[in-house]
Structures are given as C-alpha cells and as structure tokens.
Amino acid sequence: MAMNKNTVLGYATLLMIVMGIVLILLGGYRYEDVAGWGFATVGFGFFCIAWVFNALKGRV
C-alpha cells in the first residue's frame, strides 16, 4: 500500500482526534484538580491541530 501525503495527513488527523479525546477524558475523570484543566486544554489543542491537518489534505 503506497502512502501518499493525503493518506499520512488522514492518519495524523485520526491519531490527533483520538489523543485529544483521551486527554480530555483524563482531565475530566482522572485529575479532578487544577491539573485536569491543563489536560483538557491540551486535548482541545489537539483538536485544533487535527482540524488544521484535515484542512491541509489535498493542498500539500
């Protein structure tokens, strides 16, 4: 299977979304103090980066 740039960006987007969900869930359920806010914020940052990766598909 040949992986072109769009396939790589698609996999990167999927991994970023999964990691973002994991970080938000960690922040919400595992760490209920101030550290939880940091985990959730980083999780939303992963969503933003995944959105950029998705927007780059077909343009690079």
* C-alpha–C-alpha distance, residues 14 and 24, integer Å: 16
* C-alpha–C-alpha distance, residues 25 and 18, integer Å: 11
Neighbours of 3 (CB within 10 A): 9
| Res. 10: pLDDT tops 80 | yes
pTM (2 d.p.): 0.81
The residues, ordered by sequence, that sit 6+ positions from 47 with a Cβ below 8 Å of its Cβ are 16, 17, 20
31-52 confidence digits (pLDDT tens): 878 888 988 899 999 999 999 9
Burial of 48 (0-12, 13-18, 19+ CB in 10 A): exposed
**Model pLDDT, residue 17:** 94
Of 1-5, 36-40, 52-56, the range with the lowest mean pLDDT is: 1-5
